[in-house]
């Protein structure tokens, strides 16, 4: 009896220590985030010429270069998170980031929630169709579908006109998907900020023809939470003033919008790989290390939960069951949004996309690992346990020396399977702006408009790495376990 109690106490303590151990580094990291003076900016993933990745994987564009020049002029440090427009605005609302710079229009509605810097650019939105489309004007949109980007002034304008001109609206998270939808013919028109489409057409990636007039012309500004980071706004405004006077502002803008700006888009699988090889490999590396770290944490948590599921203690067993039900019931994308946007808003604790990604993946995988462990233990013949107990071994000794070694062998193929699933699930984390392999692909498409070739390359990369890793673990399994 005493032995049993001790076993229970140790398992409760172990679980507690693990939870604390897993969460502590995150808490420390977030504390660091708050104390050092690096401002965290969120931006769109792809909004060329304002923000996009060049072939070397650097974030460039009018917004990026202006901010860089202003930060140098004013002497502040910053860090950039390419989240996508809607996610960037959400991140600012929930206090995940200090500011948004993303070709963001200063509107009366947004001014209720955010404080804005002075205007650094001005543009309106316009509808466009493919060059060879039959649609000639806004009346021609009748009965057709217009692709928009969620949460943007383009989307607002389309929604306010859809009844008048009788068209449908489909929403996308980023400009890339919007243009892909147009190119494959699901949508017949798009609406977005004029300079962005003009740039896309100019760089030759996509043949667009504008219809109607520019509408909802507005100023672009940097946004911060209302009443927060006022010093950042002051520095931005002062710096903007200085670089306008020095001529640097004009230089930056004409770099992207001048006569000979904009490299022509690459086509073909080979040249895409040649040009973006290093960027793709760094995306792949992020995918690999995030999945490895997550699976290690998930194994610790999952094995503990799996053991609790098979324990005699009703309370612990029940708690483990509830955990598993919750994690299996919630879609991973919802969990990712909750960890990244929800928790900070509720608790004030902040995580970077990487930490939020690791938490999401490991919490989710732990539930499945727990079930693998329970299944493995239950698959060991009950005769084994009876025999061992009748030989005088205690319950925990039976577990450790008789059941677990046999169960572990049964579990291995399922563990490998779970690792593969977790690795593929990293792609979901692109929604919180984690630049892993899938997000890298999206960002490259934003510059090249080569979705067919790019998704093929990304798909093949996943297949290669996953096949390689499963073969490798299969060999290790044969060598050391059997």
In whole angstroms, how close is the CB of 87 to ligand GLN at the nearest point? 11
**Residues in contact with ligand GLN, shown as a per-residue x/- string from 404 to 433 under the rule CB under 6 A:** ------------------------------
Looking up tokens 């809607």 gives 86
Distance, in Å, from the CA atom of 113 to the CA atom of 345, rounded to the nearest integer, reads: 15
Cα separation values, 72 from 199, 243, 359, Å: 27, 10, 35
Report the residue number, 44 or 180, with the smaller CB distance to ligand GLN: 44
User: Judged by CB under 6 A, does residue 341 bind ligand GLN?
Assistant: no
In whole angstroms, how close is the CB of 153 to ligand GLN at the nearest point? 4
# chain residues binding ligand GLN, by CB under 6 A? 11
User: Judged by CB under 6 A, does residue 103 bind ligand GLN?
Assistant: yes
The three-state secondary structure class of 148 is: strand
Name which position in 98, 180, 181, 193 contacts ligand GLN (CB under 6 A): 193
Instruction: Give the total residue count for the chain.
Output: 482
User: Judged by CB under 6 A, does residue 240 bind ligand GLN?
Assistant: no
In whole angstroms, how close is the CB of 152 to ligand GLN at the nearest point? 4
Looking up tokens 């490798």 gives 472
Are 45 and 105 in contact by the 8 Å Cβ rule? The answer is no
Report the residue number, 64 or 458, with the smaller CB distance to ligand GLN: 64
Query: Is there a cis peptide before residue 328, judged by omega within 30 degrees of 0?
Result: no
User: Judged by CB under 6 A, does residue 114 bind ligand GLN?
Assistant: no
User: Judged by CB under 6 A, does residue 153 bind ligand GLN?
Assistant: yes
In whole angstroms, how close is the CB of 127 to ligand GLN at the nearest point? 14
In whole angstroms, how close is the CB of 326 to ligand GLN at the nearest point? 35
In whole angstroms, how close is the CB of 446 to ligand GLN at the nearest point? 12
Distance, in Å, from the CA atom of 190 to the CA atom of 140, rounded to the nearest integer, reads: 13
User: Judged by CB under 6 A, does residue 85 bind ligand GLN?
Assistant: yes
Report the residue number, 106 or 407, with the smaller CB distance to ligand GLN: 106
Upper half-sphere CA count for residue 73 (Cβ side, 13 Å): 22
Structure-block tokens of residue 35:
């104390």
- Given the rule CB under 6 A, which of 29-37, 113-121, 147-155, 221-229 is the region that contacts ligand GLN? 147-155
Name which position in 33, 44, 73, 425 contacts ligand GLN (CB under 6 A): 44
User: Judged by CB under 6 A, does residue 252 bind ligand GLN?
Assistant: no
User: Judged by CB under 6 A, does residue 82 bind ligand GLN?
Assistant: no
User: Judged by CB under 6 A, does residue 152 bind ligand GLN?
Assistant: yes
Are 303 and 373 in contact by the 8 Å Cβ rule? The answer is yes
Region of 95 on the Ramachandran plot (φ > 0 left; ψ -120 to 50 alpha; else beta):
left
E-assigned strand segments in 69-159: 78-82, 99-100, 114-116, 121-130, 145-149
User: Judged by CB under 6 A, does residue 104 bind ligand GLN?
Assistant: yes
In whole angstroms, how close is the CB of 50 to ligand GLN at the nearest point? 7
Report the residue number, 201 or 456, with the smaller CB distance to ligand GLN: 201
User: Judged by CB under 6 A, does residue 173 bind ligand GLN?
Assistant: no
In whole angstroms, how close is the CB of 149 to ligand GLN at the nearest point? 5
Report the residue number, 43 or 388, with the smaller CB distance to ligand GLN: 43
Structure-block tokens of residue 370:
């727990």
Distance, in Å, from the CA atom of 332 to the CA atom of 289, rounded to the nearest integer, reads: 19
User: Judged by CB under 6 A, does residue 102 bind ligand GLN?
Assistant: yes
User: Judged by CB under 6 A, does residue 121 bind ligand GLN?
Assistant: no
Structure-block tokens of residue 395:
């319950």
Would you give the DSSP letter of residue 401? I
Name which position in 47, 52, 167, 249 contacts ligand GLN (CB under 6 A): 47
In whole angstroms, how close is the CB of 54 to ligand GLN at the nearest point? 18
Distance, in Å, from the CA atom of 133 to the CA atom of 154, rounded to the nearest integer, reads: 20
Among 174, 176, 181, CA closest to 147:
181
Provide the edge-to-edge strand list for the sheet that holds 114-116.
78-82, 39-43, 99-100, 223-225, 114-116
Percent composition of the chain: helix, strand, coil (DSSP 3-state, to 5): 65, 15, 20
Helix (H) / strand (E) element for 231: namely helix 230-246
Taking residue 237's Cβ as centre, other Cβ atoms within 10 Å add up to 17
In whole angstroms, how close is the CB of 217 to ligand GLN at the nearest point? 10
Report the residue number, 44 or 98, with the smaller CB distance to ligand GLN: 44
In whole angstroms, how close is the CB of 444 to ligand GLN at the nearest point? 18
Are 282 and 294 in contact by the 8 Å Cβ rule? The answer is no
- Beta-carbon contacts of 382 under 8 Å, excluding residues fewer than 6 positions away, are none
Report the residue number, 105 or 286, with the smaller CB distance to ligand GLN: 105
| Site for ligand GLN, rule CB under 6 A | 44, 47, 85, 102-105, 149, 152-153, 193
């Amino acid at each position: 009896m005493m032995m049993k109690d001790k076993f229970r106490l140790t398992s409760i303590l172990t679980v507690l220590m693990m939870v604390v151990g897993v969460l502590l580094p995150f808490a420390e990291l977030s504390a660091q985030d708050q104390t050092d003076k690096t401002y965290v900016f969120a931006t769109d993933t792809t909004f060329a010429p304002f923000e996009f990745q060049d072939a070397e994987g650097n974030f460039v564009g009018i917004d990026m270069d202006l901010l860089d020049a202003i930060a140098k002029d004013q002497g502040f440090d910053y860090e950039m998170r390419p989240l996508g427009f809607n996610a960037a605005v959400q991140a600012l609302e929930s206090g995940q980031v200090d500011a948004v710079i993303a070709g963001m229009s200063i509107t009366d509605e947004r001014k209720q929630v955010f404080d804005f810097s002075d205007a650094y650019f001005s543009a309106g939105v316009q509808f466009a169709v493919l060059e060879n489309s039959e649609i000639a004007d806004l009346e021609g949109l009748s009965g057709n579908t217009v692709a928009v980007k969620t949460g943007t002034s383009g989307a607002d304008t389309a929604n306010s006109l859809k009844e008048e001109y009788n068209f449908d609206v489909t929403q996308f998270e980023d400009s890339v998907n919007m243009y892909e939808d147009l190119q494959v013919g699901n949508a017949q028109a798009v609406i977005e900020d004029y300079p962005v489409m003009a740039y896309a057409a100019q760089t030759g990636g996509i043949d667009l023809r504008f219809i109607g007039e520019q509408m909802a012309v507005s100023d672009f500004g940097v946004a911060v939470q209302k009443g927060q980071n006022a010093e950042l706004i002051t520095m931005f405004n002062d710096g903007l003033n200085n670089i306008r006077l020095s001529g640097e502002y004009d230089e930056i803008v004409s770099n992207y919008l001048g006569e000979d700006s904009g490299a022509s888009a690459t086509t073909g699988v080979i040249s895409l790989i040649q040009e973006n090889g290093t960027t793709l490999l760094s995306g792949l590396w992020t995918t690999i290390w995030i999945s490895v770290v997550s699976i290690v944490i998930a194994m610790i948590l999952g094995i503990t939960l799996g053991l609790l599921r098979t324990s005699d203690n009703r309370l612990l067993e029940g708690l483990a069951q509830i955990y598993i039900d919750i994690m299996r019931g919630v879609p991973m994308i919802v969990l990712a949004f909750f960890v990244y946007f929800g928790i900070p808003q509720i608790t004030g604790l902040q995580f970077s996309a990487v930490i939020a990604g690791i938490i999401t993946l490991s919490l989710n995988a732990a539930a499945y690992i727990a079930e693998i462990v329970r299944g493995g233990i239950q698959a060991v013949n009950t005769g084994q346990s009876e025999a061992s107990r009748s030989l005088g071994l205690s319950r925990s000794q039976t577990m450790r020396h008789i059941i677990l070694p046999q169960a572990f062998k049964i579990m291995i193929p399922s563990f490998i399977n779970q690792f593969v699933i977790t690795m593929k699930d990293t792609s979901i984390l692109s929604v919180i702006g984690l630049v892993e392999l899938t997000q890298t692909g999206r960002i490259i498409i934003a510059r090249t408009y080569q979705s067919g070739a790019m998704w093929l390359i990304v798909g093949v990369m996943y297949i290669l790495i996953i096949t390689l890793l499963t073969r490798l673990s299969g060999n290790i399994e044969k060598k050391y376990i059997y």
